[in-house]
Amino acid sequence: MDRYERLSRLIDAAASTRMMMNVFAKAVVITAMGLCGCTQPSGEAPQGQGEQTAAPQSAPSPSAKQWNNGAVKPLDIQVAHPNGAVLQLTSLQSRPTDTVVGLRVINGRTRDVELNRSPSNRTSYLLLETGERLYLSPPPSNPRLSIPTGQTFEGQLVFLGRLEPVNAAVLVLNENHQTDNEHTTTPGFRIDLPVAGGGQ
């Protein structure tokens, strides 16, 4: 191989090397551009994410039916349990989201009594003629409605859900507990409420 032929091959090889380097450089640039296009700026959430809209809470309808038009109805009902506890109902009111029964409890026995022995089992409620139950929402400070011996409790029982016009309703306290056992500390009560006629 003469001098000129070797020189020609070296020139061709150099040209091929430069061409490959150019192609590789273009590929690197294209790859870098592609990565830049896929990267989210740090600390910025994609559009449409990270934004939370609070769902509006619907208020009770002004036209919702309430027993006695929502007015307080005075009551004068007394039931004495054989164990010595006396229950007096003093008022009844239907409100937009709950129903309130005013009462007075006199514990005339020598031991504490509980009117809501099993709060988690929902054993106290208003039973309506439709079969619907409005369950008691007991006070957090006294969920079992415990009345100390010889003491008198006066307050309100709150039941979840408004009382609509009905002809019959029963107040149930301590479901499945005895209503005639003089030795029990968890007296059961079943009291018919005067709701016929809408309280008028």
Nearest Cα to Cα of residue 125 among 153, 155, 87, 163? 163
Cα(168)–Cα(98) distance, integer angstroms: 18
Same domain, 148 and 73: yes
pLDDT score, position 2: 54
Residue-range definition of the domain harbouring residue 4: 1-34
Match 């009770």 to its residue by tokens.
60
Instruction: Specify the pLDDT at position 174.
Output: 97
- Are 94 and 27 part of one and the same domain? no
- CA distances (Å), origin 49, targets 41, 43, 66, 191: 14, 12, 43, 55
* Residue 59 lies inside a defined structural domain of this protein: no
Q: What is the pLDDT of residue 29?
A: 38
Q: What is the pLDDT of residue 51?
A: 46
Establish if 40 belongs to a structural domain.
no
- Whole-model pTM: value is 0.69
Residues 17, 80 share a domain = no
Same domain, 72 and 30: no
5 in the same domain as 90: no
What pLDDT was estimated at residue 126?
98
Q: Are residues 21 and 76 in the same domain?
A: no
Q: How far apart are CA 49 and CA 16, in angstroms?
A: 51
Calpha distance 56→44 (Å, rounded): 27
CA dihedral 67, 72, 73, 77 (to 10 degrees): 110
Same domain? 110 vs 154: yes
Same domain, 86 and 173: yes
Of 92, 83, 86, 168, nearest to 127 by C-alpha is: 168
User: If phi over 0 gives left and psi between -120 and 50 gives alpha, with beta otherwise, what is residue 76?
Assistant: beta
* pLDDT of the chain, 200 residues: tens digit per residue: 554 455 456 555 545 555 554 544 444 334 334 433 333 444 444 444 444 445 555 555 555 799 999 999 999 999 999 999 999 999 999 999 999 999 999 999 999 999 999 998 999 999 999 999 999 999 999 999 999 999 999 999 999 999 999 999 999 999 999 999 999 999 999 999 999 987 66
Q: Are residues 21 and 74 in the same domain?
A: no
